[in-house]
Amino acid sequence: MWIEARDRIQTSDDWKSFEHEVLAFEQSKSESTRTEDTILHELMNAKEQCERKQLGYTIAGVKSLYRDKMDKIVAWAREFDQLGAAITSLD
């Protein structure tokens, strides 16, 4: 049963898209010199994907979009990047 499920998922378009994204991330990670740049880049890609697909969820009749959550995550990641840069400049 597990083998059949694995074979089905590996032939689906979602799996191919996921596999392509993982390979692209691995390539960008090896090419980038700063981990922070790679993280911000991937967060921005995820945000754009959420915007394109209009991904969201509804809880108790209130609809929330992942785009809004990703905006906050990207803002916090930038804050931590700036904080790290400030700390390293003190050294």
Q: What are 41-83's pLDDT values in tens digits?
A: 888 888 888 888 888 889 998 988 888 889 999 999 989 888 8
Same domain for 24 and 5? yes
- At 1-31, the pLDDT tens digits run 677 766 766 676 666 666 677 677 666 655 5
Residues 39 and 23 occupy one common structural domain: no
Give all strands (DSSP E) within 29-89, no chain letters: 56-59, 62-65
Considering the domain architecture, whether residues 26 and 39 belong to the same structural domain is answered as no
Q: What is the rounded CA–CA span in Å between residue 44 and residue 73?
A: 10
Quote the DSSP letter at residue 31.
Answer: H
Domain boundaries, position 54: 35-91
Separation CA 84–CA 91 (nearest Å): 11
* Domain count of the fold of the chain: 2
Look up residue 48 and give its amino acid. E
Rounded CA separation 22/73 (Å):
20
Q: What is the mean pLDDT of the chain?
A: 79
